[in-house]
Amino acid sequence: MPITADHLTYVYGGNKKLKTTAVDDISVSIDDGQFIGLIGHTGSGKTTFLQLLAGLIKPESGTVLIDGEDIFAKNFDLHSIRGKVGIVFQYPEHQLFEETVFKDVCYGPKNLGLSREEIESRANEALRLVGIDEAIFSQSPFELSGGQKRRVAIAGVISMKPKILILDEPTAGLDPAGRKEILGLVSDLCREQKMTIILVSHSMDDVAEYADRILVINDGKLAIDATPREVFNHKEELESFGLSLPQVTKAMVRLKESGIPVNTDAITVDEALNEILRVIK
Amino acid sequence: MDIIKAENLIYEYKRRDEEGNIEGIDRAIDNVSLEVKEGDFISILGANGSGKSTFAKHLNAILVPTEGTVWVDGMDSKDEEKLLSIRQTAGMVFQNPDNQIIGQVVEEDVAFGPENMGIPTEQLRERVDEALKTLGMMEYSKKSPNRLSGGQKQRVSIAGVLAMHPKCIVLDEPTAMLDPAGRKEVIRALRALNEVEGITIILITHYMEETIYSDKIFVMNKGKIAMEGTPREIFKHVEELEEYKLEIPKITLLAHELKKKGIDIPECVLSDKELAEALKKLV
Amino acid sequence: MFKDVTLGQYYQADSVIHRLDPRVKLAGTFLYMISLFVFNNIICYLVSAILLTAVIILCKIPVGYMLKGLRAVLFIMVFAVVFNVLFTEGDTLFEFWIFHVSLKGIKLALLMVIRLFLLIVSASIMTLTTTPNRLTDGLEMLFRPLKIFKVPVHEFAMMMSIALRFIPILSEEADKIVKAQTARGAKFDSKKLTDRVKSLIPLIVPLFISAFRRAADLALAMEARGYHGGDGRTKLYPLKYAARDYVSYIVLLLYILVIVFLGITFSKLAQVLILYFANTDFGNVLTWLFN
């Protein structure tokens, strides 16, 4: 189920003087099963773009096509894409509301009008996927630890079995172990459940490690659309957008500048290790 | 004299069931002793649940020890008469930038602490302007905090503490909710406060790369102090740090891997510059 | 959907009205409103309107901007007019179905509209020219005497000021939760009322939890910064009366005197005027207005 943005434009503020274009004529097509990393400075329009893709706000002009269908067309029922496009907001644990973990995860499937057995089997599966132990299914979600809450909230979205999963900084505020858990989970959802992933992150290291393709948004426009290796070759351009390089790439650039003849396209520790060994041995 | 001194500090949470009976006791801090010299930049590293935030709250007398003692500039934190004096000596900045700004205008928020101390109005003005200037936030003094970025909000919070003229500022994960630019902004501000104003900084964080400029690092794990030393002494124990669920900066990790492959470079590398210098000799 | 919730939207401008002490503005607005209710006649309204016009000119806020704020209460005005016109007993002008329209009804409606208009404009000038902070400070100072009766005046003021700070944050949060739950298939626009109320639970519960969490955080932060109630606190901007404030109090006093005088002598005054203009068209209008 490919998702396409077609000349997507969104303008904030009704007052003519205060108008700001948050998303400016973005056209991009994302194929099934891709792991997309979406990067951009705070305020670049990333979050607005995600909300447009999920059909939560209506564009000023342009549209989003899911499976070739225009989701903002007049007679299109937006409710019908809720089970297809899932979105995990920043700090998703803030949307938990049910008495128990299990009930909360059932909320989405219930809204899809599924049978009871189907709802429960989906909730079970989703909670298993995010690694929540059955022993805490009947606990209040508010009694859990920060990392657990976050995983329950994500389960609440994946229980709807979306084909496309959008995540807005799902690791914000977590400690390293929690971050690793969430990113591993997202990676599994892409590789094993064959979901299309659109991941927003401020960590260049994370997108370098996990994404197949990176979209760079700057000032509401799609500035770069390429593989991680290509994207992080644009050091100056990224810096002008207020973005940096992955730590490893930055180090390689530094080595090259001080006269060590390494290629600077390494984006992971292993790649850098091999490249340095190649040069100095 | 030590600005902070903790001796055999123990803090226990009582878990209660629905009727309020005690179900069990969780020991968040388990026999911690440490000393902080005035003027130092100290980092306390630890994963979630390591007890680092609970410890931080003892330094401002928000929590008092179950057992053991904490002295802030010589004042016992259990001494209720010294409470306001302790809070003025060791100011505190928290994680969520939105939930600690009280004023509706930046300068009013910065004035909040000194107002509580009863500083006369003429001096308030001076203190507020001075604190805002130090944090580079003067041009925002009349703005609403809601219009600021995360990093700017945290700088306002730090200015609010600074205006109380503390000897020491304790920051409980001040960067956890910020983007990389905001994190850099805050760390830079803290280093300047430490170096220029000579204020003791105690930074609680789980980001190792924020601690490389510290004079001393304490690593906490399960309520205990697991390691202490300078960044160089701490960062070389890659495996041990990973055990404490910390994330080693990629540069340090890369150097560590190179060393394992038999490359002759220093035991602990903290920056790309150091790495470049070490490798240059080998090419 | 929550972005429209605005409370006392301050309009920044450099005017003498903006600089007035909030206590003057609070007392002034309060007395002004009372004056509108005590004397319900056209001459007093005329004086009130003159004063208000002077204030509007002084406060340097574009009139168009100010009137835009009235749109929200237009409904109430229309309702008041319709109600007065249709349901006032009196000499019937014309009749249809169960309604009869009388001259008296039209007159009452007219007075009602003038009164509402003056009332709302005066209140909005206060909020337009005073920051919520200064307003809170003003309230705290004005009600300070109530402390003798153990009324926690400072605490109320602090609560109000914190509430004002968090309204935009919570409304943004509400907006986010609505979107998150919509993405999980929630429908907030159901036709059935019971469904509609039920659909609000996934919105209200998280919002309350968030508010409580923020309150706990804030309490901790306030405590850490040495907050211990209002005793011994100083202020960055203490309220101090300036010459313009005393002048304003005098103007206010004069206004009250004039209004009271006109209010009491209104019927006699009216008779004099009607006699003077007797048998002219203007006289007839006056007769209609004053009787």
Structural domain boundaries in chain A: 1-84+162-178+191-227, 95-161
Tell me: the pLDDT tens digits for A155-189?
999 999 999 999 999 999 999 999 999 999 999 99
**Percent of residues, chain A, with pLDDT higher than 70:** 98
pLDDT on residue C93: 66
- CB contact, 8 Å: A235 with chain B? no
Residue with more model confidence, C282 or B74: B74
- Residues C123 and C246 occupy one common structural domain: yes
Give the gap in angstroms from C-alpha C193 to the nearest C-alpha of chain A.
17
- Residues C103 and C247 occupy one common structural domain: yes
- Residues B258 and B229 occupy one common structural domain: no
Number of domains in chain C: 2
**C82 part of a folded domain:** yes
- CB contact, 8 Å: A96 with chain C? yes
Does C225 sit within 8 Å of B87, measured CB to CB?
Answer: yes
pLDDT on residue C131: 83
**C72 part of a folded domain:** yes
3-class DSSP state of A202: coil
pLDDT on residue B189: 96
* Phi, psi angles (nearest 5°) of residue B269: -115, 125
Q: What is the mean pLDDT of residues C158-166?
A: 87
- Residues B133 and B254 occupy one common structural domain: no
Asked whether residue C4 carries a pLDDT value surpassing 50, the answer given is: no
- Residues C125 and C262 occupy one common structural domain: yes
Query: Minimum mean pLDDT among A239-243, B31-35, C37-41, C239-243: which range?
Result: C37-41
Measured between alpha carbons, how far apart are the two ends of chain B, in Å? 48
Number of domains in chain B: 2
Q: What is the mean pLDDT of residues C173-201?
A: 87
- Residues C247 and C126 occupy one common structural domain: yes
Chain B residue numbers with beta carbons less than 8 Å from the beta carbon of A255 are 272, 275-276, 279
pLDDT on residue C113: 86
- Residues C73 and C169 occupy one common structural domain: no
pLDDT on residue C61: 85
**B242 part of a folded domain:** no
- Residues B172 and B265 occupy one common structural domain: no
Residue with more model confidence, C80 or C34: C34
**C237 part of a folded domain:** no
- CB contact, 8 Å: A86 with chain C? yes
Handedness of CA B213, B217, B220, B226 (dihedral sign): positive
Mean residue pLDDT of chain B comes to: 93
pLDDT on residue C222: 94
**Percent of residues, chain C, with pLDDT higher than 90:** 32
Question: How sure is the predictor about C98, in pLDDT bands with cuts at 50, 70 and 90?
Answer: low
Residue A39, H or E segment:
strand A35-39
Q: What is the mean pLDDT of residues B91-117?
A: 94
Query: Minimum mean pLDDT among B104-113, B135-144, C193-202: which range?
Result: C193-202
Stated length of chain C = 291
- Residues B7 and B145 occupy one common structural domain: yes
C-alpha distances in Å from residue A67, one per residue of A32, A163, A164, A225, C184: 10, 11, 11, 21, 20
Please, which residues 24-63 of chain B have a Cβ atom closer than 8 Å to chain C? 60, 62
Asked whether residue C3 carries a pLDDT value surpassing 60, the answer given is: no
- Residues C181 and C154 occupy one common structural domain: yes
Residue C26, H or E segment:
helix C22-38
- Residues B64 and B131 occupy one common structural domain: yes
- Residues B70 and B151 occupy one common structural domain: yes
- Residues B268 and B169 occupy one common structural domain: no
pLDDT on residue B45: 96
Chain A residue numbers with beta carbons less than 8 Å from the beta carbon of C3 are none
Burial of A199 (0-12, 13-18, 19+ CB in 10 A): buried
**C279 part of a folded domain:** no
Does C224 sit within 8 Å of B111, measured CB to CB?
Answer: no
- Residues B264 and B203 occupy one common structural domain: no
* Phi, psi angles (nearest 5°) of residue B199: -80, 135
**C283 part of a folded domain:** no
- Residues B43 and B134 occupy one common structural domain: yes
**C119 part of a folded domain:** yes
Chain A residue numbers with beta carbons less than 8 Å from the beta carbon of C6 are none
> What is the distance of C-alpha B120 from the center of its chain?
30
Q: Are strands A61-66 and A69-70 parallel, antiparallel or unpaired?
A: antiparallel
Q: Assess contact for B114 and B131: CB atoms under 8 A.
A: no
**C189 part of a folded domain:** yes
Residues 6 or more apart whose Cβ sits within 8 Å of residue C204: none
- Residues B196 and B255 occupy one common structural domain: no
- Residues C150 and C194 occupy one common structural domain: yes
Asked whether residue A45 carries a pLDDT value surpassing 60, the answer given is: yes
* Phi, psi angles (nearest 5°) of residue B56: -55, -40
- Residues B174 and B80 occupy one common structural domain: yes
Question: How sure is the predictor about A43, in pLDDT bands with cuts at 50, 70 and 90?
Answer: confident
- Residues C118 and C34 occupy one common structural domain: yes
Tell me: the pLDDT tens digits for B247-256?
999 999 999 9
Q: Where in the sequence is the domain holding B14, given as residue range(s)?
A: 2-233
Q: What is the mean pLDDT of residues B14-30?
A: 82
Give the gap in angstroms from C-alpha B85 to the nearest C-alpha of chain A.
32
**B181, closest residue in chain A (CA to CA):** A242
What's this model's pTM, rounded to 2 decimal places?
Answer: 0.87
Residue with more model confidence, B57 or C89: B57
Against chain B, the chains showing at least 3 CB pairs within 8 Å are A, C
Q: What is the mean pLDDT of residues C46-50?
A: 92
pLDDT on residue C112: 85
**C278 part of a folded domain:** no
**Closest to C133 (Cβ–Cβ): which among B94, B105, B113?**
B105
Q: What is the mean pLDDT of residues B10-30?
A: 84
**Strands annotated E in chain B:** 2-16, 22-37, 41-45, 67-72, 75-76, 90-93, 168-172, 200-205, 216-221, 224-229
Q: What is the mean pLDDT of residues B86-108?
A: 94
Tell me: the pLDDT tens digits for A208-226?
999 999 999 999 999 999 9
> What is the distance of C-alpha C184 from the center of its chain?
40
**B169 part of a folded domain:** yes
- Residues B269 and B172 occupy one common structural domain: no
**A1-84+162-178+191-227, which class in CATH?**
alpha beta
Query: Minimum mean pLDDT among B98-112, C236-250, C256-270: which range?
Result: C256-270
pLDDT on residue A20: 82
Q: What is the mean pLDDT of residues A46-59?
A: 95
Q: Where in the sequence is the domain holding C161, given as residue range(s)?
A: 144-224
- Residues C105 and C28 occupy one common structural domain: yes
Asked whether residue C30 carries a pLDDT value surpassing 70, the answer given is: yes
Token duo for residue C262:
């006109």
Q: What is the mean pLDDT of residues C110-123?
A: 87
**Percent of residues, chain B, with pLDDT higher than 90:** 84
**B173 part of a folded domain:** yes
pLDDT on residue C1: 35
Asked whether residue C2 carries a pLDDT value surpassing 60, the answer given is: no
Question: How sure is the predictor about C91, in pLDDT bands with cuts at 50, 70 and 90?
Answer: low
**C205, closest residue in chain A (CA to CA):** A97
Question: How sure is the predictor about C283, in pLDDT bands with cuts at 50, 70 and 90?
Answer: confident
